[in-house]
Structure formats: C-alpha cells, structure tokens
Amino acid sequence: MINHRIYYTEKGKRIFHARNWEEFLHRDLKVFTVGRALAVLGTSTMTAIGVTAYVMQLIPVGRRGFTRISQIPLYQTLGPLGVAGVLGLYSMGMMVYWKTVKFCLGKFKFVGLMGDAPTLWETKNSGYWKNYMYRDDPLSHG
C-alpha cells in the first residue's frame, strides 16, 4: 500500500536526481573512468552530427535555391516560431555537446593523466581501505 504522506513529498526528489549535466554523467551514466568518458564522447559526437544534419535539412538556406529564411518550407508552414524552435533545438544540442566535451577533457586530465580516484564512489562501494578496480580501464590498479 502507498504511504501518500511520503509518496507525494519524495516524488520530486526521485524524479530529479541530477542537478546538472556533469552530475547526470556521474550518477546516472556512471562515467568514472577515461574509457567510459570516451564512449560517452563518441555517442555525444554522433548525436551532435545527427542533430546538425537534421537542422540543415529543415533550414536549407544557401542550398537548393533558397536565399532567405522566408523562402524555406518550414517558415511557410510554421512561421518564424517554427524556425526559432528548430534553432533552439540546435543550440540546446550543441550546448549539451560542449558540456560533454568539457567533462571528458576534465576526466582525461584528472583521472587519466593525474591518476585521481573517484573517492566517494570508491568508499561507497568497496569500503574505505580497499582498492578500487574498473574492468574497462586498463590503467586502474587493483
């Protein structure tokens, strides 16, 4: 049976665990090593290329004889609000891509080059005095 006093007050905390993109990558995707960071960077790069190609298909100014935004079919169908929505989608996608690139470069610098261990994750899962080991990272010791 659902305890409604707890269910409604705790529901928001369960839904919104990550407060920013870096915490989403750490907590939900569990990107702790350089190998996992490179996999996330590759996926993010492919997504950014796909979003760019999709936006270029929707707004083909400079190609196929379109010289102004008012000539493209998207503008004629949805007006300036539709074009602004597509450009907003593109800018949000590129912002997430830039944050992912910054995160992966920082992960490579601090974990890959400097050997910094994710101490909170390490002490939570393996105890305080045990070594950590990630199977997908060849540089990890354990």
Lowest mean pLDDT across 34-38, 93-97, 107-111, 136-140: 136-140
As a whole-number percent, the residues of the chain with pLDDT over 70 amount to 67
Cα–Cα distances (Å) from 32 to 70, 111, 120, 133, 140, in that order, read 47, 8, 11, 11, 11
Please give the average per-residue pLDDT across 5-12, as a whole number.
52
Residue 77 parent element (H or E) = helix 73-107
Residue written as token pair 């004889």: 65
pTM of the model: 0.68
Amino acid identity for residue 51 in this structure: V
Name the band, by pLDDT with cuts 50, 70 and 90, for residue 33. confident
Supply the pLDDT for residue 141. 52
**Alpha carbon distance 14, 11 (integer Å):** 5
* DSSP characters over 7-64: HHHHHHHHH---SSHHHIIIIIS---SHHHHHHHHHHHHHHHHHHHHHHHHH--TTST
**Alpha carbon distance 92, 34 (integer Å):** 25
Please give the average per-residue pLDDT across 112-134, as a whole number.
58
Name the band, by pLDDT with cuts 50, 70 and 90, for residue 27. confident
What phi and psi values does residue 45 have, to the nearest 5 degrees?
A: -65, -45
User: Per-residue pLDDT for 137 more than 80?
Assistant: no
